[in-house]
Structures are given as structure tokens and as C-alpha cells.
Structure 1
Amino acid sequence: MDDVTIRPAAARATKTAPAENFTGTVLQDAYAAPTATSRTSATLVTFAPGARTNWHTHKTRQVLVATLGTGMVEVRGKPPRILRAGDVAEVPPGVVHWHGAVAGHLFAHISFLEIEGPDNNNWMEPVDEAHYRKVAVAPEA
């Protein structure tokens, strides 16, 4: 390729994230998919208040760029971390974590991953509702 490729926003369809890997309403808009020359995936993920991923890992580093609202990321066994627009979280390969909106807040981030085959993500159990209610409270700004 010797030119810039532009994919108009109208050409991309937003899809609902699969219920087996997410709790609540989560929308995904694929910005970039891996191609023969690149393994990069970039997806805008929008979480309704209270929505979140299941616990999971990735084979490669995940970079989350918060774009809207208030969310969080939690590594299993560690305190959760708040994410606000402009914050960037880097999750190392193999680290068990979840991310999503805090209670009562909309949240969106762009997830960047390098994909290594169809099983790049290892999806686990949902975040327990009692655990979520305990940790998913946004501190005052």
C-alpha cells in the first residue's frame, strides 16, 4: 500500500459485545483489525453504567485509552484503579483483570491489542456482583 486508507465512520457498524464475556450493555466499534502486515487491533468500547468485562487475560499487552466518563480497571488481588478521559492504562500480558464503568457512570475506552491468533483473549468468570458493588464506586474528583 502506498497511500492512506480512510474508512468512514458510516462504514463501520457498532455491535453489542458478547454477553458471555460482559455484564450489562457494552458496545464495540472496531477501528482497526489485524491485517497481513499488522497485528494491531483497536476497538472503541462503550460501557453503560455498571457494565464491565469478565475477568480475562491477553497474550499480548493491552493498552486502554479512556475517552469518556469514569471507569476502572482491576487486577485480581489488587485494589481497583479509576480511569477518566485522557488516562492510559497498560495491562501486561497474562495479567488477570477486568475493566468497565463504575456504578452510575458511562465509560468508554479505546482498547489497543496486538493479536496473536484466535485465542489471544482468555475469558474467565464474570466479576461477582457483590464484589463489583463493593469496589466500583467513583471517588470524588
Structure 2
Amino acid sequence: MLCTGNAFADGIKVIANGAQPSVTGSSDYFSGAVVVDPLMAPAGDYSGVTGANVMFAPGARSAWHTHPRGQTLIVTSGTGWIQEWGKDKHVIKPGDVIQIVPGVKHWHGATSTQSMRHIAIQELLDGKNVEWLEQVSDAQYAK
């Protein structure tokens, strides 16, 4: 028998394409046009890992933030920037895998002229996977 949808089948859960709606990135945590597509079942169902496919329009970026268990980004299209607090920003491109150490203050997003899409994977610690901080100023972004 063929199983489809969001049912568990012998210990495997298939989340059907489109079963989790896209979400517009909140202006509390992002600047510019950002779309977040969840990739996994909600954390806590059976795993503490969360993940999303995130699209940043040109000029869009996250606020400064940290992750209690770190974060892995996999760039899938476009060109973006990532920056650790107090350090130079880096160009990131498709195929790049970025590993961010727990507690490191950083931001990431598209360049000013190109969109960027990445898969973001992080793990919960005490029910949280991110600590949002202040917005990245235009001056910080342009530097």
C-alpha cells in the first residue's frame, strides 16, 4: 500500500510538499522582504532540530542574533553576506556550508543587488533555538 501525506508509516513521517505554509519574515527579526519555508515537523514532535528554507530579496537580512546550540546554513542560490559581530562580513554563494558556533552574535542575508536563499538548521536548548537582538543598521550592512 502506498502512503502519502503527513502520516507516520513504520516510524517514518513524510511531510508533504506544501503541507507547511510559507511565512513572511517578521519585521521584528528581519529587514526587507524575507520568506521562510519550514522544512521539518515542529520541534519537539520527536526531535529538537528545526530547519527552514529562507529566501532574502536583494537588501534583505536578519537582525543580529545568536543560537544556543549553533547553526548550520547551506546556501542554495544567489549571493549573500554573513557577518560575525566585530569582524568583516563574508560573501556566501551556492554550495557554501556555514557553521556558526553556539552563542556567536551574527547576521546573514542577501547582498544589496542579488537575492539569496539558504537552508538554516538549528537545535533547541531549553525550548529556544534563537536569541534575537538588535536590527542590523544600514551603515553596518553597507560596511
Q: TM-score, normalised by structure 1?
A: 0.89
Q: Which runs of 5+ in 2 are unaligned?
A: 1-7
How many residues align structurally?
A: 134
Deviation readout 1:15-47 (Å, 9 max, x if unpaired): 101110100010001001313431010101100
Query: Runs of 5+ in structure 1 lacking a partner?
Result: 135-141
Q: Counterparts of 1:29 and 1:78 in 2: how far apart (Å)?
A: 29
Q: Is the 8 A contact 2:77 2:93 kept in 1?
A: yes
Cα displacement (A) at 1:126: 0.8
Question: Which position in structure 1 is the counterpart of 2:20?
Answer: 12
Corresponding position: 1:65 with 2:63: no
2:102 is paired with a residue whose SS is: coil
Between structure 1 and structure 2, the one with the greater Rg is 2
Query: Which among 22, 25, 34 is matched to residue 33 of structure 2?
Result: 25
Q: CA deviation at 1:50?
A: 0.4
* C-alpha distance in structure 2 between counterparts of 1:120 and 1:8, whole Å: 24
Structure 1 residue 120 displacement after superposition: 3.0
8 Å contact kept, 2:52–2:120 = yes
Asked whether the 8 Å contact 2:63–2:135 carries over to 1, the reply is yes
Q: Is the 8 Å Cα contact of residues 122 and 129 (structure 2) preserved in structure 1?
A: no
Shift of 1:100: 0.3
What does 1:116-135 correspond to in 2, within 5 Å?
116-134=125-143
- How is 1:1-141 mapped onto 2 (pairs within 5 angstroms)? 2-32=10-40, 33-134=42-143
Offset from partner CA, 1:24-79 (integer Å, 9 cap, x none): 01000100131343101010110000000000111011000001100111001111
Shift of 1:12: 2.0
Query: TM-score w.r.t. structure 2 length?
Result: 0.88
